[in-house]
A and B are shown apart, each in its own frame.
Chain A
Amino acid sequence: QVQLQESGPGLVKPSQTLSLTCTVSGGSISSGGYYWSWIRQHPGKGLEWIGYIYYSGSTYYNPSLKSRVTISVDTSKNQFSLKLSSVTAADTAVYYCARDGRYCSSTSCYYPLDYWGQGTLVTVSS
């Protein structure tokens, strides 16, 4: 059973860099050909996809955040990480890490988010 766990500071000052790590257990991050995602949810709001990374290091980011986001992977620790620079109060949210599963039929493959971490609240405040 794959499990994901976010970790990192719960409070970040404005203009600083938010840094979170997702530790994966129950499976190797570098096997299976999966993508690994970060998603956030502002208080009382919907889900916002931040970006994802392949174990090889290929990344894709939400264009609205691309200039401030870096996602990296450390296969030796079975972890992937999120850095969001120049944060403001608008970046206060619950941050989730998740696995993009791979489900293939004879004609197509689908990559829904099938395993999620519990989420961690990050507050941006001085």
Chain B
Amino acid sequence: IQLTQSPSSLSASVGDRVTITCRASQGISSYLAWYQQKPGKAPKLLIYAASTLQSGVPSRFSGSGSGTDFTLTISSLQPEDFATYYCQQLNSYLQAFGPGTKVDIK
């Protein structure tokens, strides 16, 4: 199963609403996770089951979608949210990540 993400990068301002899309090459139901990675740090789990927020993750993050098309939304971008975001399919034992979306400051 291949994952694509769009856009590959975006520039946004604090307070903006940001949407990142992940598309799977075949249906994966809701078996999708989202991660945030900051430079020099390990990825951090944000969302699993396509829309379930991991404990401790701010509510401005939300996920949606099922099947092949998924979305990560940040409702009001904060300074600490500038990072790269990856989706990951959890549908098969052969795990795969999307190529990432870098969110930087406009």
Contacts and interface: CB of A to CB of B under 8 A. Distances in A.
A80 interface: no
A46 B49 contact: no
Is chain B's binding surface mostly helix, strand, loop or mixed?
A: loop
Contact of A103 (B41, B48, B86, B93): B48
A118 interface: yes
B42 A117 contact: yes
A108 B32 CA distance: 12
Contacts of A113: 33, 35, 43, 45, 88
Contacts, number: 63
Contacts of A52: 95
Is chain A's binding surface mostly helix, strand, loop or mixed?
A: strand
A9 interface: no
A27 interface: no
Contacts of B33: 110, 112-113
B104 to A, nearest CB: 14
A92 interface: no
B49 A62 contact: no
B49 A103 contact: yes
Give the size category of B's interface with A: 20 to 34
B42 A46 contact: no
Max chain B Cβ within 10 angstroms of own Cβ: one of A48, A105, A112, A119: A112
A46 B95 CA distance: 14
Interface string A85-98: 00000000000101
B97 interface: yes
A114 B45 contact: yes
A47 B84 CA distance: 11
A110 B95 contact: no
Given A96-B42, A116-B43, A119-B42, A110 B48 contact: yes
